[in-house]
A and B are shown apart, each in its own frame.
Chain A
Amino acid sequence: MNLLSDPVGVSHYLVVGALLFTTGVVCMVVKRNALGVLMGIELVLNGANVNFVAFGSPVLRGEQASLLGLDGQAMALFVILLAAAEAAVALAITLNFYNNHATVDVDRADDLKG
């Protein structure tokens, strides 16, 4: 199968989702800035969202019914909402961390080290 020649299908979206997801994870791993980690998380969620939308899309599978139908899109909506909530809380935590440690370097947040 050839991604480039084939008409756009679910697999294409899944590839994009995988790329976004992986980028997010790598972002989380390499960024020492807490906000960078946060952005990584956003990317991960976004990648997941792409998958949801792809599975729920009425377009991508043509005559076949979509895998999830409207559920996929609803799920994507909820994920967006949860991402917003998560961003708010994470930002608050980051600010707290910053207030307490005077830094946003997550490597310094090792108080729970074993």
Chain B
Amino acid sequence: MELVETDLGATLSTLLGLAWLIPLGSFVAILFFGPKMGPHGRNSAWVATGAIGTSFVLSLFAFGNWMVTHPPVSGHHGDDHGVSEEAGHDDHAAWDVQDRAGKTPASFVNFAEEHGEAASDGHADEHGDDHAEAHAADGHAEHHDDHGHGEHAAEKIAYSGDWYRLYSSPSLVLSIGWYIDSLTVFLFVMVTFIATCIHVYASGYMHDELHDITDHEVTLASGEHLHRPGRFPRFFQALSLFCFSMLGIVIAGNLAMVFMFWELVGICSWFLIGFYFERKSASTAANKAFIVNRVGDFGMLIGLMALWGALGTLHFGDSVSVDADGHQVVQPGLFSLVRPAENGHALQVPDGMVVAAAANRVGDIASVVSPEEARAVVEEQVSGWRARGYGNWLLVIAGLGIFCGCMGKSAQVPLHVWLPDAMEGPTPVSALVHSATMVAAGVYLTGRFYPVLSPDVLVVIAYIGAITLFIAATIALVCTDIKRVLAYSTVSQLGYMMLALGLGGWVAGLFHLVTHAFFKSLLFMCSGSVIHACHTNDMRRMGGLLKKMPYTGWTMLVGCLAIIGAGIPFSLGGLHIGLSGYYSKDAILAQALVYSRVNESHALLWYAAAGGAAMTAFYMFRLWFMTFLGEPRDEHVAEHVHESPAVMTAPLVVLAVMAVIAGWSIGPLGVAALLEQARPLGTAAGMTGGGLLTAAVTVPAEAASHAPEVHVYATWVAFATASSGVLLAAVFYVWRLINPGLIATTLRPVYTFLENKWYFDEIYEWIFVKPAHGVAMLASANDRGIIDSILHLVAWASRQLAAVDAWVDRVVVDGVVNTLASVTWSSGLRLRDLQTGRLRQYVMFIVVGTVAIFLLASMMLSTTVASP
């Protein structure tokens, strides 16, 4: 068993590692040889598409390997949607599977007892007098006991390891490594699949870039439009790099690596948003996205520092190494530290953080006794300190810091402002980067990091998510730019995901992440197809396109239905039938309902989620009705409309199919069950805690939301809100019973407020940009007025000194040298007369010289002789 699992880990890491690196190869190839790939680099599209397609195939292999080795046991999601009546029975089946896998029931019983107590205690304290509310959670705990603790028995299967160690020291190991569980494998399949579709789509969408382009949105100083060569290869180069970075985040085995690829994703986003960088709006949007993300990343850095400083590791999973004696040494990773197995995988502040927080006390001890003794004393004291709350804040700060990065990447309020502007990029970019994958990275990381998040942090996440979904949905109500509607809808849906995670709905949040990726990329590509046909983003100039663009229109309808969560709200022969969004959104709403019942003071979250569902339905169908139904509003636009080529519509159809079926589960096979496999250890049972940022809260177990009583109610609420939203949209835009303009006029202040996106940009302008400009002006004045004048003075003095020096040079130094030269020259001139070139004269000179020397010598000798 052990051996097989190790083998699978190696296989998966190889397959996924290859799938991860192939886009990098494509990037490098296009970077160096892009322009040489066919006319205008046409073939670079094939290189990039081939690379990501190969990655997809490899990911599928990995997925198949996983499914064969670890077939998903039918989890709660699977039964609830598939065969809800037989939930109990299926749980038995699941437990049977685990029994066969050879686990020791005894140990699980222990967990069950501890855990059951913990859960009961929590309820007794918080909701002792509210039996109705507590019932769900208690029932869940009992359920565990009855079934031999099935949740815990479904022990999480994850592989981790390092490919390469970048840097290694006792206090820090930086490595390129992997952490693979079913979430990783499934996200690989999803990301590569959507990316492949979008690559194919983009090779059609970007064909304008194959030749020279006149950009009508850029007017040069001369009054002409910008004329520039096409940049086809560059687009695919950036797409490849982006895929590489995104897959790097997903496979990363430690937070440092996540951070590296996090930044790479950021820079790719910058490249792609600013693809039309000649347009001021595009370059501004790119910078905005980059800078806003930096704000989030600053928080993330703080989180990283808190983790590293206190715990000394950034690895997710445990890493096994062999020490000098040949013993295996297990270096616990973050998850094991925060949720140690001895504690039944319940959250506890890790020793490192307790000690770091109690630094003063440790110092006191160390000042009294020797270091070895001090260590022992500290180890004794740790649990006492932990009970007194040391280190709680550090854990909260670490969680909030990491979440801060996720906020930036996933466009949560107040860092959401960049995402709508990012629609300046080409539409395939919007589809891939800003709906399906990059913004999903934040949700993914929150999900991956989930075990470390304390209840306080989860409350913050939930509120941020709720606020985001509400604000974004309200703005989307009044947008007229088709892509901006989708952008705000993306923000809103990301808010849903964060909300779900914050409420304890781990599977629900990530499930929605997956389904959303499918239908949102579909919606974006449909909008791209529309824009491609109409050459405008303004919905007010569209209308009646359904006849001319049937593929686009119908697939977009599928996308709209999926995003509002359309489905039959009651069981048909034991089956719940609906589009993918139906399952995931219902799971979120059910979780919100459970949460609001357990924590009555946070009921607002439930109302926000339900209201958001209504608004989602309204604005999505407003978009669809305005675009595809009714009469054309702009003849000029309607004339030229045509269906997009097959290379663009084919991915639409494929994605539409996926948007329908992504949420389905057949027997035990389904996304939810698969995600259930990846559920972090110890998070199934819910927890109680908090008290630092808010009053103590109880995060309910996710299983509680599968109780029929909760789930049916949530489903009906979702159905009611969604259909009311669609009906309202139809009233406004199809039957035209009410003129939307009239409403806008009547509610002028509200409308203006929404139209200006809650004045976020203006507020930021006044709070951050203007003061920054002011400080910059002060600094500039300081530079110019004071520093420059000092410099000018110094420069002037230098010039004067140099002038004196130049005079000395010219007159004295040059004079000496010139004199020497002229003397040499003139003496040479004179001496050349001696060189007559006459041989006989030379002989004469020799003779005369000899005689002269002789005479001279004899005279000298005679004087020498005479002198004494």
Contact = CB atoms under 8 A, between A and B. Distances in A.
Direct contact of A and B (CB under 8 A): yes
Interface string A71-114: 00000000000000000000000000000000000110111111
B372 interface: no
Given A25-B847, A29-B847, A114 B833 contact: yes
B834 interface: yes
A28 interface: yes
A109 B836 CA distance: 10
B840 to A, nearest CB: 5
A106 B843 CA distance: 12
A8 interface: no
A70 to B, nearest CB: 29
A29 B846 CA distance: 11
B838 A110 contact: yes
A112 B839 CA distance: 10
Contacts of A109: 837, 839
Nearest to B840: A29
Nearest to B844: A29
Interface in A1-41: 25, 28-32, 37
A25 B843 contact: yes
A114 B835 contact: yes
Interface string A34-66: 000100000000000000000000000000000
A28 B837 contact: no
Contacts of A113: 835-837
Contacts of A32: 840
A112 B833 CA distance: 12
Given A25-B847, A29-B847, A114 B840 contact: no
Contacts of B834: 114
A107 B840 contact: yes
Contact of B836 (A31, A37, A110): A110
Interface residues of B, number: 13
B817 interface: no
Contacts of B837: 109-114
Contacts of B832: 114
A32 B840 CA distance: 8
Contacts of B831: 114
Nearest to A111: B837
A57 B840 CA distance: 34
Interface in B818-865: 831-840, 843-844, 847
Nearest to B829: A114
A96 to B, nearest CB: 15
Contacts of B835: 112-114
Contacts of B833: 114
A30 B835 CA distance: 19
B840 A106 contact: yes
A104 to B, nearest CB: 12
A28 B836 CA distance: 17
Nearest to A32: B840
B559 to A, nearest CB: 99
Nearest to B839: A106
A105 to B, nearest CB: 10
Contacts of B840: 28-32, 37, 106-107
A31 B833 CA distance: 23
B604 to A, nearest CB: 110
Contacts of A114: 831-837
Contacts of A29: 840, 843-844, 847
Contact of B838 (A28, A30, A31, A107): A107
Contacts of B836: 110, 113-114
A113 B838 CA distance: 8
A113 B839 CA distance: 10
Nearest to A37: B839
Contacts of A106: 838-840
Interface in B550-598: none
A10 B191 CA distance: 117
A37 B844 CA distance: 12
A110 to B, nearest CB: 3
A32 B838 CA distance: 10
A111 B837 CA distance: 7
A110 B838 CA distance: 6
A29 B836 CA distance: 14
Contacts of A30: 840
Nearest to A106: B839
A25 B845 CA distance: 11
A97 B106 CA distance: 120
A28 B56 CA distance: 102
A106 B844 CA distance: 14
A106 B834 CA distance: 17
Contacts of A37: 839-840
Interface string B499-536: 00000000000000000000000000000000000000
Contacts of A31: 840
A113 B832 CA distance: 8
Contacts of B844: 29
A30 B839 CA distance: 10
A106 B831 CA distance: 22
Contacts of B838: 106-107, 110
Nearest to B847: A25
A114 B838 CA distance: 11
A50 B837 CA distance: 32
A112 B838 CA distance: 9
Nearest to B835: A114
Contacts of B847: 25, 29
A110 B837 CA distance: 4
A12 to B, nearest CB: 22
A114 B828 CA distance: 10
A32 B837 CA distance: 13
A38 B275 CA distance: 91
Nearest to B832: A114
B145 to A, nearest CB: 120
B171 to A, nearest CB: 82
Interface in B792-838: 831-838
B501 to A, nearest CB: 99
A37 B839 CA distance: 9
A42 to B, nearest CB: 14
Nearest to A25: B847
Contacts of A112: 835, 837
A114 B839 CA distance: 13
A109 B834 CA distance: 16
B825 to A, nearest CB: 14
Contacts of A107: 838-840
Contacts of A111: 837
A96 B431 CA distance: 92
A37 B831 CA distance: 26
A114 B842 CA distance: 13
B169 to A, nearest CB: 77
A109 B842 CA distance: 13
A111 B835 CA distance: 11
A23 B836 CA distance: 24
A95 to B, nearest CB: 17
A85 to B, nearest CB: 20
Nearest to A22: B847
A47 B393 CA distance: 117
Nearest to A114: B835
A30 B833 CA distance: 21
Contacts of A28: 840, 843
13 contacts: A25-B847, A31-B840, A37-B839, A106-B839, A107-B838, A107-B840, A109-B837, A110-B837, A110-B838, A113-B837, A114-B833, A114-B836, A114-B837
Interface of A: 25, 28-32, 37, 106-107, 109-114
Top 9 A-B residue pairs of the complex, sorted by shortest distance between their CB atoms: A114-B835, A110-B837, A113-B837, A114-B832, A106-B839, A28-B843, A29-B840, A29-B843, A112-B837
Interface of B: 831-840, 843-844, 847
Given A28-B840, A30-B840, 17 more contacts: A25-B847, A28-B843, A29-B840, A29-B844, A106-B839, A106-B840, A107-B840, A110-B836, A110-B838, A111-B837, A112-B835, A113-B835, A113-B836, A113-B837, A114-B832, A114-B834, A114-B835
